Structure 1
Amino acid sequence: MERDTIEQIKQLFGANFIGPDELRPFIKRFGEDVELTVPEFNYPLDILNKCAKDYLLVLGTPSFGKQKITLRTLRDAFGVNPDEAEPCFYNQDWYMHESFIDQSLEARWYLVKKQVVEESRAVMPEELLKNHMIFPTAILCAYTFFAYYFQTGAYLWYHDFVWCCDTDHNGDRIYVGKYHDVDGVNKNGFSIHRHLALRNCYAAINAI
């Protein structure tokens, strides 16, 4: 892609642009110093103009050099102990055998909302999908979270969970984010959880 085109879009998005130069601090955390292939913008100009204020425009890539980028490799790189280093992942391992943690991104541009949609709070994901909301993948959220932090020093979705399009092997929906617990009970960390759907194995007993 021509450098002039990138600079024009970068000027449009300002601090909301995460392109090849902005990804360098993130890439160096993996001990890599590679030149990423920069694809053409896969959004029309009218969409980019409309989204420039409230969305991040992020250059996605399946790997940094020979290092594939997945939730697993991000977790390995940044750990789960905030006492040792931040940012990190929240210390949980239930998802380590789930297939979604080994998915990677396509080499393309992504538009990712910086703030949660206020009207979506406390609304079941099925209802949101009926209203044509498009959920991101968990790897896109995590990739964007860390890339944005190493570029700006700021945390995305600091107190909020965001729904993802991924599900676990039972079909339970994944949600991620909420780096900081406002109650101070849990340690800091990028969280990966699943929303348990009601199935026949959930039942009640009577106690007298």
Structure 2
Amino acid sequence: MVSRGTDERTLSVHNEHEFLLKMEKAELTSSLAQRVVDSKGNDLAKKVVRLIENGGFEPSTSQKRAREIMGRNMFGVEEAIRHFGVNPGRRELALLAEVPWSEEVITVHKDTHILIAVFSLSVLDVRGIAKKLADPEILFYNQDWYDKQAFAEDRGEIGWQLVRKTPIANSTNKSWNEQQALLKDEETPTARIVVQTVVGHFLATGERLFEKIWVRCSDLDSGGDRVCLGGFDAQGLSVGSYWDGTRCVDFGLSASRKS
């Protein structure tokens, strides 16, 4: 890999000029600019770039603490802005300002769950976003059976979710009712929540969840069969539906922590 030389430029002269004009209109003074120039390790400039990447979003104290605990297993507002292209308004940011679980609960789940800021995006919305990404990996398997399904069009509500990275233990080869009996302080999330988690986490970290297994979600398709997701290999995430009585060694149960 060839590293970028220190003299190599990434901005055109026009870009630089327009950027400086915008910054001056935002009351950037000579003394403030010098503070950026003098900052140790170019720290202030890096913070400005991160702020721009995050659409101007600054995380709350609750979100910062959650990130310290969860590390790469957190897909927060910043990641949703960067990877899903969302543009949250004041109401959405207010709803996400506080992570609803205690630090103790988050710590217990830091290795087994993804803490995700779920936005009002449907399965079809996320698939549409994925198609626009200049990424060599295929994110969704080529299917159209669910294009007109209500579960795939549902945008749901905004909020935090703690979604399990693997199926509930011992949930494979069981019917839906048998799987539900295994839940304690968790519940089965909708397909849109699981899709945002699986696709978002992959875009942010490169880790594929449910690569060789499928998980049931809470939704039903128009025929009354249970929606399931999985097989998230290089051919993309697959979406299917099966009778609740089906027992299969490849079918587990998705789960998210109750708030």
Q: Shorter-normalised TM-score: what interval?
A: 0.7 to 0.9
Say whether the 8 Å CA contact 2:60–2:98 is kept in structure 1.
Answer: no
CA offset at residue 46 of structure 1?
3.4
Q: Does 2:189 correspond to 1:136?
A: yes
Query: Hey, what does 2:243 align to over in structure 1?
Result: 196
Query: Hey, what does 2:144 align to over in structure 1?
Result: 93
Distance (whole Å) between structure 1 residues aligned to residue 241 and residue 153 of structure 2: 16
Q: Does 2:216 correspond to 1:159?
A: no
Instruction: From the superposition, tell whether residues 47 and 154 of structure 1 become closer, same or farther in structure 2 (CA, over 3 Å).
Output: same
Q: Does 2:100 correspond to 1:42?
A: yes
Alignment of 1:15-34 (within 5 A): 15-28=72-85
Say whether the 8 Å CA contact 1:25–1:150 is kept in structure 2.
Answer: no
Query: Hey, what does 1:11 align to over in structure 2?
Result: 68
Structure number, greater radius of gyration: 2
- Cα distance per residue 1:188-207 (max 9 Å; x no partner): 12111000368xxxxxxxxx
The residue identity in structure 1 corresponding to 2:127 is R
Runs of 4+ in 1 over 4 A off after TM superposition: 32-36
- Cα distance per residue 1:57-105 (max 9 Å; x no partner): 101111xxxxxx21112222324xxxx9423211122212211011124
Say whether the 8 Å CA contact 2:232–2:238 is kept in structure 1.
Answer: yes
Q: Does 2:110 correspond to 1:52?
A: yes
Instruction: From the superposition, tell whether residues 8 and 167 of structure 1 become closer, same or farther in structure 2 (CA, over 3 Å).
Output: same
Gaps of 5+ in 1: 63-68, 181-186, 199-208
SS of the counterpart of 2:236?
Answer: coil
Distance (whole Å) between structure 2 residues aligned to residue 150 and residue 60 of structure 1: 15
Instruction: From the superposition, tell whether residues 97 and 23 of structure 1 become closer, same or farther in structure 2 (CA, over 3 Å).
Output: closer
From 170, 177, 184, the equivalent of 1:119 is 170
Alignment of 1:78-89 (within 5 A): 78-79=130-131, 85-89=136-140
- Cα distance per residue 1:136-187 (max 9 Å; x no partner): 111111111111111111211111111100001221101002112xxxxxx7
SS of the counterpart of 2:192?
Answer: helix
The residue identity in structure 2 corresponding to 1:61 is F
Instruction: From the superposition, tell whether residues 23 and 75 of structure 1 become closer, same or farther in structure 2 (CA, over 3 Å).
Output: closer
Distance (whole Å) between structure 2 residues aligned to residue 131 and residue 121 of structure 1: 11
CA offset at residue 33 of structure 1?
5.7
- Cα distance per residue 1:25-62 (max 9 Å; x no partner): 3134xxx6657613322223432232122111101111
The size of the alignment, in residue pairs, is: 179
Instruction: From the superposition, tell whether residues 101 and 158 of structure 1 become closer, same or farther in structure 2 (CA, over 3 Å).
Output: same
Distance (whole Å) between structure 1 residues aligned to residue 221 and residue 147 of structure 2: 11
Between Structure 1 and Structure 2, the one with more helix by share is 2
CA offset at residue 19 of structure 1?
1.0
Could you say what the CA RMSD is over the residues aligned between the two structures, in angstroms?
2.4
Query: Hey, what does 2:157 align to over in structure 1?
Result: 106
Query: Hey, what does 2:253 align to over in structure 1?
Result: none
Say whether the 8 Å CA contact 1:25–1:151 is kept in structure 2.
Answer: no
Say whether the 8 Å CA contact 2:122–2:152 is kept in structure 1.
Answer: yes
Percent identity over the alignment is: 22
